[in-house]
Amino acid sequence: MIPASISDYRALARRRLPTFLFEYIDGGAFSETTLARNQSDFHEFTLRQRVLRNVDQLSTRTELLGQSVSLPLVLAPVGIAGLNARRGEVQAARAAQSAGIPFCLSTVSACSVEEVAAGAEPGFWFQLYMIRDRGFLKAMLDRAWQAGCRTLIFTVDMPVPATRYRDIRSGLSGGSPLRRKLRRTAQALVKPAWAWDVGLLGRPHSLGNIAPVLGKGAGIDEFWRWMADNFDPRVRWEDMAEIRRHWQGKLIIKGILDAEDARAAAGTGADAIVVSNHGGRQLDGASSSIKALPAIARALGDDMDILLDSGVRSGVDIVRALALGAKGVMIGRPWVYALAAAGEHGVAEIIELLAKEMRVAMALTGVTRVADIDASVLYTRA
C-alpha cells in the first residue's frame, strides 16, 4: 500500500505491530463512545467555501507560545511510543524539528529525556503527570530543564488510570503476569519485521524516564503497576502553584473539557491549556474535544492560548479547530501510526500531508494567514 491518508498509516501500523501495541495506541476507555465522537463531531462544522479571493501568498506559519512554527501543529505526548519503531521518540523528535513544529515527550516514554536530547536538537517539549512522589516529580522537572526543554505540558485528566478493554483482551493488562507475557511474546513472533527492528535491534528496552524507579530488568508489567500506584488522585488546583513555582519555562495544562476548569486554569499562572479528553482514553461518555472547544474559547477570551487535542485527522480538522478558537492542535495517534509504519520518514510524511490539506482548506475558504482563520470560515457556528 502507498499511504495517502492517516487512515492508511493506521492500516500499515496494524499490519506491522504486535497486537498488544496496536490496540494500546488505537483503543479508548470502556465502550469507546468518546473515542468515536472525537473524530465524527468534527464533521458537524461545515466550512464555508469562498472563491476568487487571491490566495496566492498563502502561509501556514504562525506562533505557538512565542515559538515560530511552520504550521499550528504539535506532536502530542504518547506513552511508550518509542516501542513502535527503533528508539521511536528520537525519530519522531527529529521529524518534528525538521518540519519546524514542536514535539512533546511523554513522562512514560520508551526513550529517556536525555536520550532524546542527545539524538535530536534542543527545544522539544516535555509532559508530566502529578506523581505521588513529589521528590521524583521535581527531579523529573529538573532533568527536563537540563535536557533543554523549556515548555512543560502538565496532564491533569489522569488522577486514576481508566479501564481499556482492548488492553485486557490483548494481554497488555489484566490476567496473570505469566499469561500476559506469553501472549505478548506470541504476538511479537508473528510480526518478524517489528521483532527484528524493535525487539532485537531496539535494545535496551526500558521505560526511559521512570527506569530508575522501576529497577533493573523491569518491563511493561512493572510499568503498569507503577502507574497505578503513583498517579495522585488527591491532586487539586492548589497543587498547580507548586508546579508553577518550580518550572521557569512555559506551562501548559492539558486535559480541560469544561469552561469552569478553563477559568481555574487561567488563575494558576499557566500560559496555555489543551482542550482534551485524553484521546477518549479516560472518561468514556465525556464530550468530544471539538464540541467542548467553543464554550471554553468564549470563557477565556484572550486570557490565554488554547490548543486542541483528540480527534484531529486532517488539515481540514486543523482549520475547523482554529475557526472555533484554538491557536493550534496536537496529534497523538496519527504520528504514532506513521512512526510504526515508516519510522522518521513516516512521521515527516504525515506532517507534510496535514500541511498540504490545511493549505487547500485555507485557499478554498479564502484565507491566506493562520491569524485570519475564525468563525467566518464556517457555516455551522458554535
Q: Give the domain ranges of the chain.
A: 6-377
Strand order in the sheet with 272-275: 73-75, 328-331, 305-309, 272-275, 250-256, 151-155, 125-129, 104-105
Q: In the prediction, which pLDDT does 213 show?
A: 73
Superfamily classification of domain 6-377: Aldolase class I (3.20.20.70)
d(CA 31, CA 210): 30
32-41, 197-206, 363-372: lowest mean pLDDT where?
197-206
User: pLDDT class for 218, splitting at 50, 70, 90?
Assistant: low
Which pLDDT value is given to residue 173? Answer: 84
Nearest Cα residue to 222 out of 209, 233, 206? 206
**Residues 20-36: tens digit of each pLDDT:** 999 999 999 999 999 99
Let me know: does 109 contact 117? Beta carbons within 8 Å. no
**What pLDDT does 204 receive?**
73
* Model confidence band, residue 215 (pLDDT cutoffs 50, 70, 90): low
**226-230, 328-332, 339-343: segment of lowest average pLDDT:** 226-230
Exposure of 371 by Cβ count < 10 A (0-12 exposed, 13-18 middle, 19+ buried)? exposed
9-43 residues labelled b (16+ CB within 10 A) or e (exposed): bbebbbebbbbbbbbbbbbbbbebebbebbbebbe
pLDDT exceeds cutoff 90 at 340? yes
φ, ψ (nearest 5 deg) of residue 152: -115, 130
User: Which residue matches cell numbers 479528553?
Assistant: 277
Cell 512522589 belongs to which residue? 133
pLDDT band at 6; cut points 50, 70, 90:
very high
Residue 247 CB coordination number (10 Å):
22
pLDDT score, position 192: 92
> Can you give 110-123 as a three-state secondary structure string?
CCCHHHHHHHCCCC
More confident residue, 227 or 127: 127
Q: What is the pLDDT of residue 380?
A: 66
pLDDT band at 181, cuts 50/70/90?
A: confident
The answer to whether 329 and 102 are in contact (CB under 8 A) is no
On the question of pLDDT at 166 being above 80, the answer is: yes
List the one residue out of 250, 257, 253, 249 whose CA is nearest residue 267: 253
How far, in Å, CA of 200 to CA of 258, rounded?
Answer: 45
Chain segment 109-144, per-residue pLDDT in tens: 999 999 999 999 889 999 999 888 888 889 999 999
Phi-psi region of 312 (alpha: psi -120 to 50; beta: other; left: phi over 0): beta
Residue-wise burial string across 69-105, b where 16 or more C-beta atoms lie within 10 A, e elsewhere: bbbbbbbbbbbbbbbbbbbbbbbbbbbbbebebbbbb
Mean pLDDT over the full length of the chain: 93
Q: What is the pLDDT of residues 233-264, one digit of tens each?
A: 888 999 898 899 999 999 999 999 999 999 99
Which tops the pLDDT comparison, 225 or 257?
257
Please state which of the ranges 53-62, 152-161, 358-367 shows the lowest mean pLDDT.
Answer: 152-161
- What residues act catalytically? 278
**Sign (positive/negative) of CA torsion 108, 8, 289, 19?**
negative
What sign for the dihedral angle of Cα 238, 243, 246, 252?
Answer: negative
**What is the model's pLDDT at position 241?**
86
Amino acid sitting at position 106:
S
Cell numbers placing 106? 511523554
